[in-house]
Chain A
Amino acid sequence: MKQTKRHSATRAVPRRHSLATKQAVLTLLIALVMSMIAGLIEMYADARGMRTEIREQTQSLLALVTGTASEAAYQLNPDLADQVVDGVFDRGDIERVVLRDDFGRVMAERGRDDTEPESWLLQQMFGDLLVYQQPLQYDMVGHGIEEPVGEIELVLALDSIGESFMERSWLIFVLGVMKVFGIALFVVLAFYLLINRPLLKVYEAISEVDPTAPGSWPKPDLGGHKHDELGKLVSGLDRLLKAFQSGLDQRDELHQISTVDGLTGIANRRHFDAFLDEKWQQARRGQHEIGLIFMDIDNFKAFNDNYGHLAGDDCLRAVARTISESVPRATDLVARYGGEEFVCVLSHTDLAGAVDVAKRIQAAVLELDISHEFSDVHDQLTLSIGIASGIPDVSESSAETLLAVADHRLYQAKSGGRNSIVSTGEP
């Protein structure tokens, strides 16, 4: 439960903020702009092609009718002229067609009267292609010499040219846009498969990292990316997390070393100081009892001198274990205070309770049955014990007084003949 809370910083990214979405949107946006430009270029190219087409088609149309038109002009034959003009006009896309004789008179004419001014753009694109004037020549007297007999003038209809251009260019534009868009879609897909998806895997693996145990993260397997930057990213991350893990491990080890007594395996003086301070402050805030027991092995110097240091160390370990076993509550603490001195912090314990615990410890140590021939009080190993307890005064700032009382009573127990428990008397 706590785990997920801590992960809130790396919670799943909303889809619209995701890298894949951003990339897709950006790519498609670029594709849109590019395709527009490409479409316009294609339109321009098509317009050029269309210009050539229009010119060629019109010129071939004129070439087709020039013979007959010349004949009509030569004969000054209005019926034939009408036929020519009709034939040309009915081809469509023509605004006006006029056949004139060489005296400048109109022989035949057809035109549309629904001509509206066309757009500026169309004028720019096709305006210069609209008017065609084809002089008409005829070998009038059969000497092989052509003489002018008139002209045919043709004006193309800009609106129908524009219409067919729009139709064509719209198709070309749409196809161009679709082409570029298709490519963009492939690019998006390829990028997703090649980069975004493995990146997403890395992201998910990172979001699942347990900050208390970073070394055991679910290292993603990226398949084909082992040797590229993504692979390096993952292996680099792995090294980083592993290094972080070893740092945590070292920290834990140091903590252990700094709080545990190396010889006996129970808490050391430093841990005791911190623990007592914490518990004492709790007791002061809560105004409840806190008990403190000071213990000292009787005539331990003589024990050491006579049985040797190894035996002395064994003895200290045994006593420490025994005291610890006699104080099973998790809220209490047994520590080695130094040399052959031990202390015990008892939360929520009044003097009577502390005395009970002390008696239990005294009995348990006796039961260890460690013989001590050089003791001046007993033939077995014994303890002198001083006890203090009380509710901390709010005006006090530390457990100084409690410590002093316990220490004083231990001193009294020792000076009073050892192997005893003292729980009264002030320093």
Chain B
Amino acid sequence: MMRRWIMKSWMCLALAVVIIVPARLDADAIVFNTEDYPPYNFLDESGQLDGVVTRLLEAALDELSVDVEMRLLPWARAYTEAQMRDGHCVFSTAYTEEREPLFQWVGPLGEIEWAAFALRHRRLDAGELSDLSGLRVGSFREDAVANYVSEQGIDVSLTTTDQENIARLRDGQIDVWVSGVLSAEYLARIEYVDLDRLFTLNRADIYLACHPDVSGAFLSDLQAVVTELKADGSAERIREDVLNRRRP
């Protein structure tokens, strides 16, 4: 009787530990935050994390035999956690001068080009950023291009994820969408929206951005493997696979 009770207690305790432990992030465990931003990183149809950068990082981590927890979050949270909380990194992060001192950087893992988009049938005539004043411009929180456009004096209406912006564009809630070219074209294809690329805004390399207190040794190991994967063509292969929707 007593023994059974003790066993039950132990089982309860074990269960509690199982439940509690993942909720509390181990100080040593490293968390890679990311967002839904295809094709760099996104959830596929089966709910698995996928993407050009995701696969590249997974390959590098495999090489190092390190396991990290990857969490898909709204960009603002994913980015802020990496900025504020030890043990956290975030990808895919466009490298800018303003962001440079806030993080440790691993990459580049790819590049991003930003452009302004509108619905094709609107036939908007805008050749440069200043043409956007007076128009309703949409982007999402803590996005590098949103910050860039805002700094140029254009009002930007922000959402939590970039997917909301293509819906807003389609519904006429915004006139212009500033976004990453790859991502925008990828979403437009999925959502069957006919986009008109107005002009190119900027370009940047994308990185894994880590909190300053994350182990530097681990990050330089990671950097070394990434450099190698890029040099031996693996990175390019991954990119092709993802863009052609091929599973490895």
Please classify the interface of chain A as helix (H, G, I), strand (E, B), loop, or mixed, using the class held by over half of its residues: loop
A77 in contact with B76 (CB, 8 Å): yes
Q: Nearest-CB distance from B223 to chain A (Å)?
A: 27
Q: Nearest-CB distance from A350 to chain B (Å)?
A: 143
Given contacts A141-B72, A145-B19, A145-B22, contact A75 B77 (CB under 8 A): yes
Mark each residue of chain A from 145 to 159: 1 if its CB lies under 8 Å from any CB of chain B, else 0: 111000000000000
Q: List chain B residues, Cβ under 8 A from A76.
A: 74, 76-77, 80, 141-142
Would you call A103 an interface residue if the criterion is a C-beta within 8 Å of the partner chain's C-beta atoms? yes
Q: Which residues of A in the span 144-177 have a Cβ within 8 Å of any Cβ on B?
A: 145-147
B71 in contact with A74 (CB, 8 Å): no
**Distance A146 CA – B19 CA, assembled complex (angstroms):** 11
Would you call B182 an interface residue if the criterion is a C-beta within 8 Å of the partner chain's C-beta atoms? no
**Distance A140 CA – B71 CA, assembled complex (angstroms):** 8
Q: List chain B residues, Cβ under 8 A from A145.
A: 19, 22-23
Q: List chain B residues, Cβ under 8 A from A141.
A: 71-73
Given contacts A140-B71, A140-B73, A141-B72, contact A77 B23 (CB under 8 A): no
A75 in contact with B71 (CB, 8 Å): no
Mark each residue of chain B from 177 to 220: 1 if its CB lies under 8 Å from any CB of chain A, else 0: 00000000000000000000000000000000000000000000
Q: Which of A75, A140, A147 contacts B76, CB < 8 Å?
A: A75
Given contacts A76-B141, A145-B22, contact A103 B80 (CB under 8 A): yes
Mark each residue of chain B from 139 to 151: 1 if its CB lies under 8 Å from any CB of chain A, else 0: 0011000000000
Would you call B135 an interface residue if the criterion is a C-beta within 8 Å of the partner chain's C-beta atoms? no
Q: Which B residue's beta carbon lies closest to that of A78?
A: B141
Q: List chain A residues, Cβ under 8 A from B142.
A: 76
**Distance A76 CA – B82 CA, assembled complex (angstroms):** 13
Would you call B163 an interface residue if the criterion is a C-beta within 8 Å of the partner chain's C-beta atoms? no
Given contacts A103-B80, A103-B84, contact A74 B74 (CB under 8 A): yes
Would you call B160 an interface residue if the criterion is a C-beta within 8 Å of the partner chain's C-beta atoms? yes
Please classify the interface of chain B as helix (H, G, I), strand (E, B), loop, or mixed, using the class held by over half of its residues: mixed
Given contacts A103-B80, A103-B84, contact A75 B74 (CB under 8 A): yes
Q: Nearest-CB distance from A69 to chain B (Å)?
A: 15
Would you call A255 an interface residue if the criterion is a C-beta within 8 Å of the partner chain's C-beta atoms? no
**Distance A145 CA – B160 CA, assembled complex (angstroms):** 21
Q: Nearest-CB distance from B46 to chain A (Å)?
A: 14
Q: Which B residue's beta carbon lies closest to that of A147?
A: B23
Q: List chain A residues, Cβ under 8 A from B76.
A: 75-77
Q: List chain B residues, Cβ under 8 A from A227.
A: none
Q: Which of B22, B73, B77, B158 contacts A143, CB < 8 Å?
A: B22
Q: List chain B residues, Cβ under 8 A from A77.
A: 74, 76, 141, 160
Q: Which A residue's beta carbon lies closest to that of B23?
A: A145
Q: Which B residue's beta carbon lies closest to that of A104?
A: B84
Q: List chain A residues, Cβ under 8 A from B158.
A: 79
Q: List chain A residues, Cβ under 8 A from B160.
A: 75, 77
**Distance A147 CA – B84 CA, assembled complex (angstroms):** 16
Mark each residue of chain A from 23 to 37: 1 if its CB lies under 8 Å from any CB of chain B, else 0: 000000000000000
**Distance A298 CA – B22 CA, assembled complex (angstroms):** 158
**Distance A238 CA – B139 CA, assembled complex (angstroms):** 111
Q: Which B residue's beta carbon lies closest to that of A73?
A: B77
Q: List chain B residues, Cβ under 8 A from A143.
A: 22
**Distance A143 CA – B71 CA, assembled complex (angstroms):** 11
Q: List chain A residues, Cβ under 8 A from B19.
A: 145
Q: Which A residue's beta carbon lies closest to that of B69?
A: A141
Q: Nearest-CB distance from B59 to chain A (Å)?
A: 22
Q: List chain B residues, Cβ under 8 A from A103.
A: 80, 84-85
**Distance A324 CA – B158 CA, assembled complex (angstroms):** 143
Q: Nearest-CB distance from A323 to chain B (Å)?
A: 137
Q: Which residues of A in the span 87-102 have a Cβ within 8 Å of any Cβ on B?
A: 101
**Distance A394 CA – B17 CA, assembled complex (angstroms):** 138
Q: Which B residue's beta carbon lies closest to that of A101?
A: B80
Mark each residue of chain B from 1 to 42: 1 if its CB lies under 8 Å from any CB of chain A, else 0: 000000000000000000100110000000000000000000
Q: Which A residue's beta carbon lies closest to that of B158?
A: A79
The 5 closest A-B pairs by CB, nearest first: A76-B76, A75-B160, A75-B74, A103-B84, A145-B23
Q: Can you list 27 A-B contacts (CB < 8 A)?
A: A74-B74, A74-B77, A75-B74, A75-B76, A75-B160, A76-B76, A76-B80, A76-B142, A77-B74, A77-B76, A77-B141, A77-B160, A101-B80, A103-B80, A103-B84, A103-B85, A140-B71, A140-B73, A140-B77, A141-B71, A141-B73, A143-B22, A145-B19, A145-B22, A145-B23, A146-B23, A147-B23
Further 14 A-B residue pairs, CB within 8 A, beyond A76-B77, A76-B142: A74-B74, A74-B77, A75-B74, A76-B76, A77-B74, A77-B76, A103-B80, A103-B85, A140-B71, A140-B73, A141-B71, A143-B22, A145-B23, A147-B23
